[in-house]
Structure 1
Amino acid sequence: MEIVILIIAIAVIAVGAASGLVISGRRKKALPPPRETPTVTAPPAEPSVGEESVPAAEEDVRRTIEEVELPGGEAPVVEETGVPVPPSPVVEVPAPTAGRLVRLRTRLARSQNVLGKGLLGLLSRDHLDEDTWDEVEGTLLTADLGVAPTQELVARLRERVKVLGTRTPDELRTLLREELLALVDPGMDREVHTEPGVSADGAEVPGVVLVVGVNGTGKTTTTGKLARVLVADGRSVVLGAADTFRAAAADQLQTWGERVGARTVRGPEGGDPASVAFDAVKEGIEEGADVVLVDTAGRLHTKTGLMDELGKVKRVVEKHGPVDEVLLVLDATTGQNGLVQARVFAEVVDITGLVLTKLDGTAKGGIVVAVQRELGVPVKLVGLGEGPDDLAPFEPEAFVDALIGD
């Protein structure tokens, strides 16, 4: 009997356990399936120094700018870490300045030959009457030589031709070359002075050049090209973007500087030009640069305003040391209008030298003589094209030879 009761108890326990399992299974089935958490694929992080690059997902390959293959080869890699690094900007080596005007003489002669050929043609006539001499005078005036220089040259030519008598083409060319060269005045000091100076406390400061002129004459471009001239001569240069009133001027100058490895100091748009000029010279002192070139504002609004701006820039820069050069940039194609601009700037600041741009684009080569006579300062540089190395030191002999097509 006890055995029967034991068997019945065991059976009851077994049935109960089985029922619990079924209920538990049903409860589990009744529960909703767990909510799946969406997988978010983050973009590959930029590798840090000492870390390996994180591979991107195959379906969405993204590369950093450092990993993009550059023209001419792969991006440079730091050997220790394997991390791609951006390439350094390519620094150009400017063409040497020695003989640069001679190399560009063909370009100059192309535009200036009109003057030389015209004069030689007139002087070669069998009979030089008053009408012919009037034509000679008109040719010179048309070339923007100026009234006084024209009268001097005509008087000298008349005298020498009369003494010469018979005139061969070679004799006329020699005569004309000598007289034109005398007008251009080869004895003037045409060197761009950039000697280091000394500050009030005895410290050495770089040579300082202020570049002035009306906007539109190629002033900022000339500053950049002058940096190339100086670098080609082995000088280290700092550029000061003090033309803060033109939004693109500082960017333009900085681009020129980067091409030759020259640092550009700039300020906020519309900021104080004198402050930028001061900081540029300060930077030049700290870097031990040879020359600081300062591109100034060129707003010819009123003479008083211009005087205030340029005067302040010069005074502030001179707190560091002397200003070696003040170069006035003129557009040679503007002719007599350029002379008007020159007079205004000469009254405002002491001009030490002239830069004539676009001289290859005009047949009015007489502007060289006219502006030198007007200001009493020499033409030191000439622009003969749009290329980066088309700014050349002015050489009177090469210029006159281009005029007469020698």
Structure 2
Amino acid sequence: MINYELPTKLKNLQQMSHQVAVSMLRPISRKYDRIEHCPTPEELVPLAQMRAQLSRKGGAPGAGESEPGAVRNGVNLAAVVVGEELCWGDVGLLLSIPGQGLGNAAISAVGTPEQKERFGKLYCAMAITEPEAGSDSAAVATTAVLDGDEWVLNGEKIFCTGGQRCEAVVVWATLDRSKGKGAIKSFIVPKGTPGLTLLRVEDKMGLRVSDTAALSFQNCRIPRDHLLGQESVGDTDAARRKAFGGVMQTFDNTRPAVAAMALGVARAALEITRELLAAEGVKADYARTLNNSTAIEAELYRMEADLEAARLMTWQAAWMADNSQPNSMQASMCKAKAGRMGTEVTLKCVELCGALGYSEHTLLEKLARDSKIIDIFEGTQQIQQLIVARHLLGLSSRELK
């Protein structure tokens, strides 16, 4: 029998995270939306220290190991529960907390024990997207050439979240473009490495407090052991697919976490909308059928159902990752569903609240701006649907593009 309830330990973690969002993130949300390209907000330093302390103790409460063979509610499910609550406070501020970037997820997914120990405590960004390689990760053109005991990187990366404030960058590069996906590897490049240059920090519609950078690599030399995973490219299609699959494994863990961001933003917008409508005497009456409800009430019911469906899909994908079950399709499904839901719900909330929704008197317009990128980064809506279609039809990326 399927149990849709969170265990007590995760409920406690959920409540604690919500209190952090209420007391620390929501109060400064508008302040840092108006200050773009600022240093790391000083209010986030205690959160970073708290995270580091939990990490030393073995992770957040409820995210530990279970008995052998038992169902595990581990770090992935804990991450989506915490992520939703903190993004209810402010998604941009969550992404600005020092110490945990997308690059850390890559190190955790494919790094060796030595690399996890050496680099796992650094604040690591991830550099994938290029001017000519966006949603198609296999089209990466940045090169990595082995020269003695060093890798030499050359190329340009754009839209790197945390690229300015991070302590290291995990860079995707190809060892040999003629060998396709299997030649793409990820490399750890510490900030300050000669040849790594910060080109610019982008101006953005949403997530304004979170820095998004463009980086250049010009004859950037790093030690040979800074490559994540196996060095061999492999001579067969199967070997190359397996190698690239190891690199892509990162997304199976991070896409549910990104979906959780959409859950938090949409829920925040929906709660603000309910409060504004209630002040005008418009309250949902769940005792009435949909056909006997007002148009506004019907919209609220639809948005609530959409939010709950996305949440359950996200929990499923995270739970599967915790229990070592293949979840690539479910990760893409929840990312696609939640990303689309977040944009639709926040925009509808702005619409329902009229002038109050569009003005800066509430956070609704900000939430609508923030939500759009969640449907784009970590793989666009269209890419997620393509991945799901390949799984359902049993087709490879070469057969279905």
TM-score over 0.5 for the alignment? no
Structure with a larger share of its residues in helix: 2
TM-score (norm 2): 0.22
Task: State the structure with more CA Rg.
Answer: 1
TM-score (norm 1): 0.22
